Chain A
Amino acid sequence: DVKVTQSSRYLVKRTGEKVFLECVQDMDHENMFWYRQDPGLGLRLIYFSYDVKMKEKGDIPEGYSVSREKKERFSLILESASTNQTSMYLCASSSPGTADNSPLHFGNGTRLTVT
């Protein structure tokens, strides 16, 4: 079974702090993604990566950055956390393609609260 592991289940941070969310996958997937999930807004793509050292902006990259130094690990960084970044953050991985043998595999999420 594919496993996508997010290092923290719950995080509480203060406004202005630098926050690191870590994600590791064990299936040698090329693609990795960071989404945030908010009620009424659904899943929104923050950043994604097709390969080590590569990163691409998603729909809402402002206030975030990412790092992919190793194929299995994709980190999301909030440079200076703000209260509007309080959300559920979901990491996902996939192999390339569009068929049903390349679905997104999600981690269980990190619920971040910024106070």
Chain B
Amino acid sequence: QKEVEQDPGPLSVPEGAIVSLNCTYSNSAFQYFMWYRQYSRKGPELLMYTYSSGNKEDGRFTAQVDKSSKYISLFIRDSQPSDSATYLCAMRWGAGANNLFFGTGTRLTVIP
């Protein structure tokens, strides 16, 4: 079983839709949860960071962590064509490089 599971999509939505991206995980020790965004032919860049459970909002983006269900989500409100990218979840339990785990990424296309 993979440490982190993420639906690869692809996901296509019309402009203005609410998008929900999700990951599940198996290791209850994870404490730090991240979402990276990767545009085509670019490297990933950090989009959202959450420590432990709860919600975090940044503009049109909301990251949600449910540790009891081992489930994290990224919501995008009023989606824009510029949001078209691959979204990778990532999580870790400490500072070490080899305890950072990425999902496989969900490819999102927002259609104008």
Contacts and interface: CB of A to CB of B under 8 A. Distances in A.
Interface of A: 4, 31, 33, 40-43, 45, 48, 50, 56, 58-59, 90, 92, 96-100, 103-109
Contact of B98 (A4, A42, A48): A48
A106 B43 contact: yes
B8 A40 contact: yes
A50 B43 CA distance: 21
B104 interface: yes
Given A41-B104, A42-B102, A100 B97 contact: no
A90 B42 CA distance: 10
A100 B35 CA distance: 11
Given A56-B98, A58-B98, A103-B49, A42 B43 contact: no
B41 interface: yes
Given A48-B97, A56-B97, A108-B41, A100 B8 contact: no
A4 B51 CA distance: 26
Contacts, number: 59
Interface string B30-55: 01101010000111111001010000
A43 B36 CA distance: 12
A109 B74 CA distance: 25
B41 A42 contact: no
B95 A96 contact: yes
A98 B94 CA distance: 7
* 4 tightest Cβ-Cβ pairs between the two chains A and B: A106-B43, A100-B49, A103-B46, A42-B104
Contacts of B94: 98
B72 interface: no
A17 to B, nearest CB: 25
19 contacts: A31-B97, A41-B104, A42-B88, A42-B102, A42-B104, A43-B88, A45-B97, A50-B97, A59-B98, A90-B43, A90-B44, A96-B95, A97-B95, A100-B46, A103-B34, A103-B46, A103-B49, A108-B43, A109-B42
